Amino acid sequence: MSKEHINMAKAAGVALGFLGVLLIARPWSSVGSIDIRGVIYMLAGSISVGCSFVYARKFISPLKLPAVALATYQIGLAIIFLFLVTSLDGIGAVFKDTRTWIGLIFGLGLFGTGLAYVIYYFIVEELGAVAAAGVTYIPPVVALLIGVFLVGDKIHPFGYIAMVLILSGVALLQYGSQQASVFDR
């Protein structure tokens, strides 16, 4: 595996995507005060997600384990840790309704989280950590569109600019990854 280098296209893609997410969130327009602990938790979560892409690329990808196996290990360990810290009071109510537990296990577990982790490891292996991390810019766009089409929210003018910035950032990340792979040959 060759080293992954940051080029101008990747750096610009990260910057555009971040600026787009910032425009969607518009933290400067919040009503009331912002709880600094929430900001710290959000930043810590973002940093840990970013580090996970680099870690997976540097230490997991070289092992050449199948993405399905990696996703299974990751979800299995998460279940164990959740059982250690989660109260199970009332859990039986979930299993009284067949549609509920089928939806949870197959909809969220297998096809949601499980498939997402399989795709995650595939993208990290094929595109590299930086380009794969660009995928994390897409959920704010999806959330904005869901708000508009399913809830009836109105898009603030900054929302349109934000979507263009985010999608342009992701495209630049992909372009930068393809350029890097051409130079690596």
| From 35-49, 100-114, 135-149, 161-175, the region with the lowest mean pLDDT | 35-49
- Residue 25: count other Cβ atoms within 10 Å of its Cβ: 14
Q: What is the pLDDT of residue 182?
A: 52
Q: How far apart are CA 68 and CA 53, in angstroms?
A: 17
Say yes or no to pLDDT of 120 above 90. no
pLDDT in tens, 42-67: 778 777 887 888 889 889 989 999 99
**Domain spans in the chain, listed from the N-terminal domain onward:** 8-26+36-184
Q: What is the pLDDT of residue 184?
A: 52
pLDDT in tens, 124-134: 888 788 878 88
Distance of CA 141 to the CA centre of its chain: 12
Distance of CA 138 to the CA centre of its chain: 8
Say yes or no to pLDDT of 161 above 70. yes
C-alpha distance across the termini of the chain, in Å = 12
- Residue 138: count other Cβ atoms within 10 Å of its Cβ: 13
Say yes or no to pLDDT of 181 above 70. no
3-class state of residue 86 by DSSP: coil
Say yes or no to pLDDT of 17 above 90. no
Categorize the per-residue pLDDT at 69 as very low, low, confident or very high, splitting at 50, 70 and 90.
Answer: very high
Say yes or no to pLDDT of 38 above 70. yes
